[in-house]
Amino acid sequence: MTITYNQYPLLSYTSYSPKDIPKELFIGAVNSRTIQEILAHKGYAHFFPLIVNLQRNTFQPSNYFLSQNIQNLLLNEEKSRFYSLREFSKKSDTRYGCILMENGYTCLYVYLSKKDALRLKRISDSYIGVGYYKKNILIGFEEGVINNDSLILQENGIYPEEANWLDYLTFCISVLGYAVNNSYLMDSHEVDEKIFMLKKNDLLH
């Protein structure tokens, strides 16, 4: 699988290393209703500035690519999902980056530890925000806080009709948890950022 900025333009926003990063990333929407929701959503308005803040504080992006098979595994198999959520709970460090999927789909995520969430968001629990895109077209967005083992949705997200509350957050958490012990560095891509490929864990089958 070859990764390019043309197919995954949001990658260029997660790092200052590429030479040709656009000064301003154009984000489109699937329809006019979504555009109005974007303009009115305080959390989304703060989402990209939050990433810039992390970059300036020397945080490095953690980017992952998962095949359709791994995506189906995390969405549909309870054993894999439980394992992933357990592994995610063991890591509380701040991180951000892109989860890349086939056909140009991308989840752009930010996870803040309690310390950084208090500093950057003025909240006392860990924070997670996820935007779901097709190339540079926003499909959905939601954000929440993690209090002990509970994931609590913050203000209403931005959703297409077929999505449910917490879909984006739980999927992102599952991917990040699964990636802890089931990923390797890709060497076949055309971008400057490091990309990790998620691999199948045979012990879960």
Quote the pLDDT of residue 79.
Answer: 76
CA–CA gap between residue 115 and residue 105 (Å, rounded): 31
Going by C-alpha positions, the residue among 36, 15, 14, 191 that lies closest to residue 107 is: 14
pLDDT digits (tens, 9 = 90+) for 63-95: 999 999 999 888 887 777 778 878 887 878 999
Q: What are phi and psi of 156, to 5 degrees?
A: -50, 140
Lowest-confidence region among 70-79, 97-106, 117-126: 70-79
Lowest-confidence region among 88-92, 107-111, 180-184, 196-200: 88-92
Quote the pLDDT of residue 175.
Answer: 93
Q: In whole angstroms, what separates CA 26 from the centre of its chain?
A: 18
Assess contact for 74 and 80: CB atoms under 8 A: yes
CA–CA gap between residue 105 and residue 159 (Å, rounded): 15
pLDDT digits (tens, 9 = 90+) for 124-170: 999 999 999 999 999 999 999 998 878 999 877 888 877 888 999 99
pLDDT digits (tens, 9 = 90+) for 17-66: 545 555 556 788 888 888 888 888 999 999 999 998 998 888 999 999 99
Quote the pLDDT of residue 203.
Answer: 60
Q: Which two three-digit tokens encode residue 2?
A: 């070859």
pTM: 0.91
Assess contact for 10 and 138: CB atoms under 8 A: no
